[in-house]
């Protein structure tokens, strides 16, 4: 699958939009996963990503989709999404810009494109590690910056939800698309359970839990 995307800046002198840069989104092929998995291990804390064998199986069975954001032949960022469940919620499990391209607005542009791709879905969902559970100030600041990035992209922090995955305390954030905030807040527990049940099955679903 291949999606086209572009950044447009208005040229006020001529009144016509001019193309400043052109991007593409493509689906990751299975034979690319090994190289990308090395990046995943560097970009995320242990427990935030599945073992390689499981990640491969989820992509192979189309239970998850990995998308690459690129400019021409140059890969810039990647995202792993669960987007095919009947409940029409999209869980973005992993989202990262290559280290060498961070701070250039790539992540924001990628997220805008994902919003367009999934505009007919109920909402986008993300899990973010809680800053108050960080072990160091550096880690705490990093987690706060991640939350701030999603907030700038239109996500809101779902309040009063005590949530853990693989025993790691998380915040849940959502960007409403078709659904309203009230609907998302009412459905979040059931929707997350359904999404993870499809990914982990009955044997491991207990690793995803709400305490309140």
Please calculate the CA angle 22-103-130 and round it to the nearest 5 degrees. Answer: 120
Rg (Cα) of the chain, in Å, rounded? 18
Q: Specify whether the CB–CB gap between 22 and 6 falls below 8 A.
A: yes
Domains of the chain (ranges; CATH) run 25-210 (3.40.630.30)
Handedness of CA 151, 22, 83, 204 (dihedral sign): negative
Q: State pLDDT tens for residues 137-162.
A: 999 999 999 999 999 999 999 998 98
Give the separation between CA 144 and CA 181, rounded to whole angstroms: 22
Q: Specify whether the CB–CB gap between 114 and 68 falls below 8 A.
A: no
- Residue stretches of the chain with pLDDT short of 50: 1-20
Q: Specify whether the CB–CB gap between 149 and 165 falls below 8 A.
A: no
With H, G, I as helix, E, B as strand and everything else as coil, classify residue 133. helix
With H, G, I as helix, E, B as strand and everything else as coil, classify residue 46. coil
Structure-block tokens of residue 142: 């990093």
* pTM of structure: 0.86
Q: What is the DSSP letter of 26?
A: E
Q: State pLDDT tens for residues 172-203.
A: 999 999 999 999 999 999 999 999 999 989 98
Give the separation between CA 112 and CA 5, rounded to whole angstroms: 9
């Amino acid at each position: 699958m291949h999606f086209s995307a572009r950044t447009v800046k208005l040229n006020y002198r001529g009144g016509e939009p001019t193309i400043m840069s052109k991007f593409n989104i493509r689906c990751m092929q299975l034979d690319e996963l090994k190289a990308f998995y090395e990046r995943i291990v560097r970009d995320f804390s242990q427990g935030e990503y599945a073992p390689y064998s499981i990640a491969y199986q989820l992509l192979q069975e189309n239970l998850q989709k990995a998308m690459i954001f690129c400019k021409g032949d140059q890969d810039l960022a990647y995202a792993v999404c669960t987007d095919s469940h009947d409940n029409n919620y999209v869980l973005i499990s992993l989202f990262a810009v290559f280290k060498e391209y961070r701070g250039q607005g790539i992540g924001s542009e990628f997220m805008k494109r994902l919003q367009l791709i999934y505009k007919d879905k109920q909402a986008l969902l993300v899990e973010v590690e809680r800053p108050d559970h960080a072990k160091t100030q550096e880690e705490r600041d990093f987690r706060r910056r991640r939350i701030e990035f999603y907030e700038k992209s239109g996500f809101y922090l779902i309040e009063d939800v005590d949530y853990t995955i693989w025993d790691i305390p998380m915040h849940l954030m959502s960007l409403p698309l078709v659904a309203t905030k009230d609907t998302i807040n009412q459905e979040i527990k059931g929707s997350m359970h359904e999404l993870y049940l499809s990914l982990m099955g009955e044997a491991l679903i207990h690793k995803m839990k709400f305490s309140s």
